[in-house]
Every structure is written in structure tokens, then in C-alpha cells.
Amino acid sequence: MSDSEHILVLVAGAAGRMGKEVIRAVWEAPDMEIVGAVDVHGVGEDAGKLAGIGDIGVPILSDIQSAIAARRPDVCVDFTVAGAAEHGIDLCARSSIPCVSGATGLARPALEAAGAQAEANGVGILVAPNFAIGAVLMMRFAAEAARYMPDAEIIELHHENKLDAPSGTALLTADRIAQSRRVAGAAPRPAPAGEIEKVPGARGARGERTGGVPIHSVRLPGFVAHQEVILGGVGQILTIRHDSTDRRSFMPGVLLAIRRVRELKGLVFGLESVM
Ligand code: NAD
């Protein structure tokens, strides 16, 4: 930590929906200070003003590399989008700056390469596709349930501007379910043999399978971030659902990650790793 006794935080993606929420949350945190904000939009504007909390004296800069060099943050928080996030995470690893990223749709090999670099430099990178505590619990409960009810499908519903599908949360949930099935030696019932999508133009109606779990993605205005895990057994259905109705739901998790990432080394995946 810097000698100011505050954790000095740089926010990448500061003009975005999540970035603005992070600016507000970090601004209100008594143990943190915003020292930099980066985005390709709103360059030159004050990050606080953009986030609706008034002038905080932190202008949005366009280039993360020079922002890191100029501001020397203790922690970078990244809520940009895939591509930009991979670049930012890699840069943090090379610059020995701990990084928290919530961006989704990231390429695993790029993350692992950055993780190896971070490990070599003795810093941590925490990547979590969902910072809401309820979503972490939903994934944990779904994994537990899959030991006994291995037949499961996921429906995830997000706002219409979400770029990636399926969501990072759905992918992580499917991964946890698959892992849980393996440990318990529980297998889902095999799909019926033969063609099951006969209607022309209806390909994909059974969802996209990840780890053997079908995922169905809905993108509509009105949603923020929602997910249902449906587990079926003979004569019974168990539904586990989580709804983020406001982006503030992610902020306690983001603040926790900022506080804990400095204790980590290398790539760490999922908020539960620091809970
Ligand atoms: P958004 O489009 O509103 O914001 C992304 C911001 O990144 C934009 O302001 C954009 O200008 C900026 N950006 C793009 N390229 C950039 C670059 N090269 N350098 C700097 N800034 C750049 O999106 P959002 O809804 O805020 O979501 C951001 C990411 O967070 C997405 O990947 C989304 O899936 C993810 N997300 C994660 C969680 C979680 O809990 N982990 C929750 C919600 C959203």
C-alpha cells in the first residue's frame, strides 16, 4: 500500500456502466482513493462528473499504459470489454500492479499467460465473471445440487447491450456443475439418439452445451443480470435463481476484491477465492 494509507485505485472502463458504478463505490470507500480513470470514451472529462457524483479531480485518460506510469496505482480495476481487458490485465502483470477484472468473454490462454507473468512478478490478478454474493452462492448451490441431480440446464438473461454470450457466469456455473458431477461420479442422462432438432431454422433451440450443460442466453431490454439453474429429477424440479436488479449488487464484491488482491500471486479465478 502507498504511504497515504489508502489503497490507490485506477479504474479502466471508467465511462462504462460498471466503471461508473465502481467510481462511485471506490469514492465512498473510506480506505480507498481513486488516482486514475481510463476509457476510450469521455476522454478529458472528470470521472466523478461522468459517474454522477460531481467533480473528483480525476480526468479520464485514453491510454492505460501511460495512466499506470503516471499514477502508480496500488490496484487496477478493469471493467472494459474483452480485448481491451486482456491488454489491460497483461499490462498490469508486466508492470507488477495487482489487477481486479470483471470483464467477461476473456480468452483463457491470454489470461493464463498474464497470470504466469504476474506470478513471476509476485502480484495477483483476480478475474471474476460475477461479483454479486448472491450469484456466487447460486453457483455454489447449483454445484452442490448437481451431485444428486446431475440433469441440469442454465438460462441466463441479460440486458440487450451485453456483447458476449453465453455469460461468463453461465460458463463458470456449467464448469462447476461438470466438476461436481465428476467428483460425485454422477452423470446426466444421455441425450436421445438421432436428430432432435428437426425443424428447419430451429438449430440451437436446445442451447449451447458447455461441459455437457446446455446454456440458453436471453438478451432483452429491462434485464440487468439474471440466471436460473434448473435441475430435473424423476417427478421433481429444483430451480436455483439469482437476479441482479441493480449494478450496485456487484460493488461489495468489487471492494472486497480490491482489498484482497494484493495478497494473491498469479491468476485467481472467481470471487469465492477471496471470500
Ligand atoms: P460498457 O460497454 O458499459 O463499458 C465498457 C467500457 O469499456 C466502455 O466505457 C468502453 O468505452 C470502455 N472501453 C472499451 N475499450 C476500451 C479500451 N481499449 N480502453 C479503455 N476503455 C475501453 O459495459 P459494462 O456493462 O460496464 O460491462 C463491462 C464488462 O463487465 C463486460 O465484459 C460485462 O460482461 C462485465 N460485467 C461483469 C460483471 C461482474 O460482476 N464481473 C457484472 C456486470 C458486467
Q: What is the CATH number that goes with domain 133-244?
A: 3.30.360.10
- Report pLDDT for 4: 63
Q: What are the pLDDT digits (tens) for 236-258?
A: 999 999 999 999 999 999 999 99
Q: What are the pLDDT digits (tens) for 94-115?
A: 999 999 999 999 999 999 999 9
Q: What is the CATH number that goes with domain 7-127+248-274?
A: 3.40.50.720
Query: Where in the chain do CATH 3.40.50.720 domains reside?
Result: 7-127+248-274
227 CB near ligand 1 (under 6 Å): no
Atom in ligand 1 nearest the alpha carbon of residue 15? 9
Residue type, 78: D
39 CB near ligand 1 (under 6 Å): yes
126 CB near ligand 1 (under 6 Å): no
What does the block give as the cell for 137? 452462492
- Of 198 and 131, which is predicted with more confidence? 131
The angle that helices 84-94 and 64-71 make with each other, rounded to 10 degrees, is 30
Lowest mean pLDDT among 143-147, 207-211, 218-222, 232-236: 207-211
Q: Is the pTM of this model over 0.95?
A: no
- Asked if 18 and 79 touch (Cβ cutoff 8 Å), the reply is yes
Q: What are the pLDDT digits (tens) for 53-81?
A: 999 999 999 999 999 999 999 999 999 99
Task: Kindly tell me if the per-residue pLDDT of 1 is higher than 60.
Answer: no
Average pLDDT over residues 151-159: 98
| Antiparallel, parallel or unpaired: β 60-61 and 32-38 | parallel
Planar angle of CA 233, 238, 241, nearest 5 degrees: 150
Rounded Cα distance, 196 and 56, in Å: 58
Query: Where in the chain do CATH 3.30.360.10 domains reside?
Result: 133-244
133 CB near ligand 1 (under 6 Å): no
Q: How far is the CA of 171 from the centre of ligand 1 (A)?
A: 18
DSSP 79: -
Q: Which of 80, 133, 161 for mutating ligand 1's site (highest number of atoms within 8 Å of CB)?
A: 80
